[in-house]
Amino acid sequence: MKKRSILIKKIIQSIFVFILFYYSSYLQLIPILLFNMDIEKLTSTQNICLSLFSNIVLLLILCKIYWKELKAEWINFRKNSLQNMDAAFRYWFLGLVGMAVSNIILNFVLNAGGATNEKMVQEMITTLPILMLINAGIIAPIIEELTFRKAFKNVFQNKWVFILSSGLIFGGLHVITSFSTPLELLYIIPYSSLGISFAYMYYKTNTIYTSISMHIIHNTVLTLLSILTR
């Protein structure tokens, strides 16, 4: 009975976290209203700063929600850091291969034209590279791991249900919120490949810091490459 009560509590908590993540952009209304900003006349720089603000607030809320679990999993990560990171790189590499192969097929065989979400990120990197390095390279990965890995693992006890649902929904939300053509929906595949690898390494190491570390490394390297090659 106690286990069932704990599970119900975790389910409610995870649903709240997911809804909070999905509607987190509304947190941008705080500075907009506070500084009497005109929504219709926001510049690219202002939009990036608003995004950074909402992500910082969301991150603080998520850390507060999972504080006890985060402390416990940090101890586990620190005790077995070498083994955890070894697993992280191995599973990340498999996810990267899946992502690369599917992107090659989509871009060069099907001429899908690239995911709108990725194009938007690249435009923001051009506008404010340093802020985007912080936002996309560090803050966003932590938020996504707590939302798609931590929250999902707390609900789904079955290994493959957790891994697949976490990866596929992670991939789906990167595409369905901004796609412009039906063909673009296929970009769920490369995003999901990476999401599945993050979920698998979390399951194997049982510490969220493994997938957080790898996600940060992945995003930071890609952002830096984007900045340096412009």
DSSP 93-151: HHHHHHHHHHHHIIIIIS-----HHHHHHHHHHHH-HHHHHHIIIIIHHHHHIIIIIIH
pLDDT at residue 122 greater than cutoff 70 = yes
Residue 1 binned pLDDT confidence (cut-offs 50, 70, 90) = low
Position 113 scores a pLDDT of 83
Q: What is the pLDDT of residues 22-60, one digit of tens each?
A: 999 999 999 999 999 999 899 999 999 999 999 999 999
User: What distance in Å separates the CA atoms of residue 197 and residue 85, rounded to the nearest whole number?
Assistant: 13
Q: Pick from 106, 113, 84, 126: which is nearest to 180 by CA?
A: 113
Residue 178 binned pLDDT confidence (cut-offs 50, 70, 90) = confident
Helix pair angle (208-228, 116-127), 10° resolution = 70
Q: What is the mean pLDDT of residues 203-227?
A: 97
Residue 7 binned pLDDT confidence (cut-offs 50, 70, 90) = confident
Position 197 scores a pLDDT of 98
